[in-house]
Amino acid sequence: MTRDDQDRLAAEHVLGLLEGEERTLAERLLDSDESFQALVRQWRTRFAEWDNTAADVVPSDVLWQQIEAGLEAQPAAAAVRPAPPARRETSPGLLQGLWNSLAFWRSFGMAGALAALLLALGVGYFADKATRQPTLVAVLMNEANQPGAVLRTFADGRAELTPLGNMEIPHNHSIQVWTFPDPAGAPVSVGVVQTAKTVLLELRNLPRPHSNQLFAISVEPLTGSPTGLPTGPVVMKGTASTAL
């Protein structure tokens, strides 16, 4: 790679324009190659003036508290070595860190949605559970950030979609369920649904779904999207988590 190529790669890395192989290459060079690091630093300095054109936005009052709570959970590099795991779990600092951590609350929100859902599904679910343990569960949240449907995948490649609450499908339309087996790739349809009730979906032709895989539902013509990609608005989405 010529010096000019490296320089272009460094600049496009700083701009955030790299994708795919070039992005991986730039990240590798940034970790290992001092001359590349120097090129990146030069471009950062050249472009830094743009950062000064952003209007100041006053952070919300809790942002600093959340950062400070995050510090509890991860001591500074130079501070004492982390206590052994057994002690860390019981340390009040860590608990307080969790209490304030964005990520924790985010997962707690999902867990709460899941708990509500399990209640909604009722006793039948539990009676059936031994034989029909789902492998992954995705709670799809609607525009109002409320659980709108739940999707469960099973070890045999089937999946089940259960709409929640008062989901309505617009007249003369369907909802179509999509997933992203490759997070960087195009969505793939896994089923078209005309009535709001629990339905089976077919995932057998797709790579085995993984946790964090995204599922989304769009509104489509009655027979599904004519293009093979979502054409209507996305009304719900959520990522899958491993069912324990």
Partner 1 sequence: MKAALGEMASPALDLNDALGRCARGDRLALRAIYDSEAPRMLGVAMRLLRRRALAEEAVHDTFLQVWRKADSFDPARGDARSWLYAILRNRALNILRGETRTDLVEDFEPMGLVSEEENAEAVMMRLSDTGSLKRCLERLEPARRQAITLAYIHGLSHGELAGRLGVPLGTIKSWIRRSLVSLRECMT
Residues numbered 172 to 211 that lie near partner 1 (CB under 8 A) are: 180, 183-184, 187
Are 136 and 152 a contacting pair, CB within 8 Å? yes
Residue whose CB is less far from partner 1, 157 or 221: 221
Nearer to partner 1 (CB atom), residue 71 or residue 115: 71
> Nearest approach, Cβ of 108 to partner 1 (angstroms)?
16
Given a contact cutoff of 8 angstroms between Cβ atoms, the answer to whether 209 and 178 are in contact is no
C-alpha torsion 58→59→65→69, nearest 10:
-140
Say which residues have a Cβ less than 8 Å from residue 198's Cβ, sequence separation at least 6: 160, 161, 162, 163
In this structure, the number of other CB atoms found within 10 A of the CB of residue 157 comes to: 14
| Contact set for partner 1, span 106-125 (CB under 8 A) | none
Map residue 145 onto helix, strand or coil.
Answer: coil
Does residue 79 interact with partner 1 by CB under 8 A? Answer: yes
When binding is defined by CB under 8 A, the residue of 96, 234, 241, 243 that contacts partner 1 is 234
Interaction between residue 12 and partner 1 (CB under 8 A): yes
Which residue among 50, 81, 171, 227 contacts partner 1 (CB under 8 A)? 50
Is 219:173 a contact under the CB 8 Å cutoff? yes
Residue 137: C-alpha distances to residues 3, 33, 88, 244 (Å): 49, 42, 30, 10
Q: Which is nearer to partner 1, 46 or 87 (CB)?
A: 46
Stretch that binds partner 1, among 54-62, 87-95, 146-154, 169-177 (CB under 8 A): 54-62
Site residues, partner 1 (CB under 8 A): 4, 7-8, 11-12, 14-17, 19, 37, 41-42, 44-60, 63-64, 66-68, 70-71, 74-79, 102, 143, 145, 180, 183-184, 187, 214, 216, 218, 230, 233-234, 237
